Homo-oligomer: A and B are copies of this chain.
Amino acid sequence: MAGIGDDCAILRIPAGHEALVTTDLSLEGIHFRREWHSPEVVGHRCLTRGLSDIAAMGGEPIAAFLSLALPRNLPQGWVDQFLKGLLKLAETFHVTLAGGDTAESRAGILADIVVVGSVPRGQAIRRSGARPGDRIYVTGRLGGSAATLKLLLSGRKLRPADFQGHFHPLPRVEAGRILRKKRIASAMIDISDGLSTDLAHICEESGVGAEVLAEAIPLASIGKPACAVDLNFALHGGEDYELLFTAPRSKRVPSRIAGVPITQIGQIRRGKHISILDPMAVRSELRPQGWEHFRLRQ
């Protein structure tokens, strides 16, 4: 790492590795609201989005770049706390904030995060590697972030500590790396837009269909006392930042990886249909409804 105070940052990509690059916008009113999300939470979630994309390729994050457009009247304290949240997460994953840009926004806060990582040449886990017969897995539990958002939208005041999946989601970098190193996953994506949408991305890129068992989907528990979320949040709610991956039947997939539970939720099928089986074995189409339904601006 060099180049701070230069026109570009200079990054050393390890020998035999390829570079990974991902960019994600976070906008006030779309991805967060100042009355719900503390600046520290906004900073944390902003970087999580980028790190989660690196995790989804089985990569190792190296550096982050932050472009901020800020309203003229925004208190400096907000920016300081935002950076504090972002830098704390960066430190956890040994990522350097290596550059960026700032400008004045005419309305609302906008942050664009770029994360650069690396992966041994040819070993990035793509979305296109799923094959009929592969099993479908997810890390962690789903639906917690969207269910929390629903509570916020209904006007509930929440204690962030009881809803960490929404306020402080952790990107699954270590799990992604192990899935790549042990050559377990045939295809992978992070669940940022919701299971139904992100599974559809894998199926489309791989040219396959899928069958999901409703009963098998691990539901997040939120609040205190903790309560499991409705299946619809797990199927269609975004911003869980868990990993969705496929693995050939022949692979032994551990029940935990890097401390995170791994759950089989279905199988890849020939064809193009993505279906879901309810507990009575009734089959219906699983349409990608994704995150759009849970946007802040409803």
Contacts and interface: CB of A to CB of B under 8 A. Distances in A.
Interface in A228-270: none
Contacts of A128: 5-6
Contact of A54 (B8, B15, B24): B8
A19 B23 contact: no
A10 B124 contact: yes
Contact of A8 (B3, B11, B57, B108): B57
Interface in A5-38: 5-13, 15, 18-25, 27-31
B23 A67 contact: yes
Contacts of A12: 18-19, 121
Given A21-B63, A69-B110, 20 more contacts: A2-B124, A3-B57, A5-B128, A5-B201, A7-B190, A8-B21, A11-B21, A12-B18, A13-B13, A13-B18, A21-B98, A21-B99, A23-B114, A25-B103, A27-B103, A29-B106, A30-B104, A31-B103, A67-B67, A112-B112
Interface of A: 2-3, 5-13, 15, 18-25, 27-31, 52-54, 56-57, 59, 63, 65, 67, 69, 98-108, 110, 112, 114, 116-117, 119, 121, 124, 126-128, 189-190, 201, 205
